[in-house]
Amino acid sequence: MDQSDDKWPASRLLAFARELQQAASFKDLLEITRREVSRTTGYGHAWLFVADSPDARELRLIDVAGARDELVWKVAPVLRVDSDAMLQQIVASDEPVVVVDARVDPRTDKQIVAALGNRTIINIPLRLLDKPFGAFGVGSFGDEEGCRAPTGEQLDYLIGMASQLSVAASRIRLLEERALQRAEAQALEHRLQQVQRLESLGLLAGGVAHDFNNLLSVVLAGAELAREYLAVDPQRASAELDAIVEAAESARVLTQQLLAMGRKQELTVSALDLDASVTRLVDLLRRVLPRSIEVELRSTGEALGLEADAARIDQVLMNLCLNARDAMPGGGRLTIATAAMDIGPADLATHPWAKPGRYAVVTVTDTGTGMTPEVVERAFEPFFTTKPGTAGTGLGLSVAYGIVRQHGGMTACSSELGRGTTFTVFLPVARSSSVAGANPPAGLPSTGGANPSTHSRSALPPPRLC
């Protein structure tokens, strides 16, 4: 205990406040406080309780510092105010509540006192905007520390410390609430992605089942012919076996693609050639989309190097293509194009949503029904769908948007009723990539005429906005 002076200058309290600003958690906060309490008052224990609701019916232990911290956590993690006279006084008043001997004071809960070995208890009410926020407390435990009432100067200093603690505790609580909200938003986004991924798999099931049926027909017919020719024409039998192996390999590739889409996993970033990935996806689309839809690929013909999660990028493109399929119930043309693009300062004047840099660009264009401006504006909202009944969950485009955002990219949509829709995906090119920065002929999506909806938001649109 610092006994050089019974009073402490304001500079000491200011130094304590500055030290509190360095605390990143309540544990740090209480340890800093306990040291200061020990130096200035001699009490070796400090605790912090916070009200979980505006009416302060309960006080929840945020943290405790001192030799009996584990015991306090075990005995008194949450205290009900209505059954404790001392807590009622704390919540109702701005004045410190001093209990010199907890064993005999009528305001204390004797069961808790016996379990903890409390002796002197000093609680300073904490208030925020004139409402109960919690309590900052110090005290002594056991006969070795004994009962010791604080002096007037010590009590004044503890009140000053409580004021600083209230500010610091509010800051940390706000940071923790924001971190929790971010974690919950990320968890929700991951769940939405998985739900939508399963929906995409369901939509693909019909086409894949048809393709598997064809492959199995090849396998069964080849096996019968191979058995028939095995003795009389080994060369013909060998050719049939080769056809069986080729069909089985095609089935394996289909299975791997479906498993990649259905897999639930964290973002796994690796080197990816977007142009090659799109080419492989188009091969799958030509198998599973109706014959009434012509699939056209306009490839840049050069490597578009990214640092990305291949399965997630496949999911983005598949979502956009399935959305295009649904927009063409009577058939039409689906055009998928890749390109490299440099977005510079000059582009930002007319496209404020854009971010400067070098991008690999994919456009997915259909000749379907198109969308009204009002629908375009809501295209990326979770659970928004224009499909009848239970035909869709309304997650496809929002999940695609979220995945692109996770990769630091951008999405844009332009559509005109009766003339079709174009979705454009911009993904940052890897720094080590040698992609040429040539602008595609069409440039950035126009901001006029075709009712574009461009999105450069920093988070998945929250469900409550839908």
Cα distance between residue 266 and residue 269, in whole Å = 9
pLDDT at 282: 87
Burial label, 212 (beta-carbon count in 10 A; 0-12, 13-18, 19+):
middle
pLDDT at 445: 56
pLDDT at 1: 47
Nearest Cα to 435, choosing from 364, 362, 355, 359?
359
Q: Which residue has the tokens 């440099």?
A: 342
Q: Which domains does the chain have, with CATH numbers?
A: 10-181 (3.30.450.40), 266-465 (3.30.565.10)
pLDDT at 193: 58
List, run by run, the mean pLDDT of 10-residue segments along the chain (466 residues): 54 86 84 87 88 82 86 90 90 90 94 94 83 86 92 89 83 81 74 58 53 67 78 82 77 60 61 88 82 90 84 85 88 93 79 82 93 84 65 66 86 89 91 50 44 33 26
Strand (E) or helix (H) holding 283: helix 274-288
pLDDT at 397: 79
Question: How many residues are listed for the chain in this entry?
Answer: 466
pLDDT at 453: 42
pLDDT at 190: 67
Nearest Cα to 61, choosing from 110, 103, 105, 116?
116
Q: What is the pTM of this model?
A: 0.45
Give CA separation, 25 vs 79, 113, 146, 174, 232, in Å: 22, 28, 31, 11, 82
pLDDT at 249: 73
Strands 293-298 and 332-343: parallel
Q: Which residue has the tokens 């010199």?
A: 100
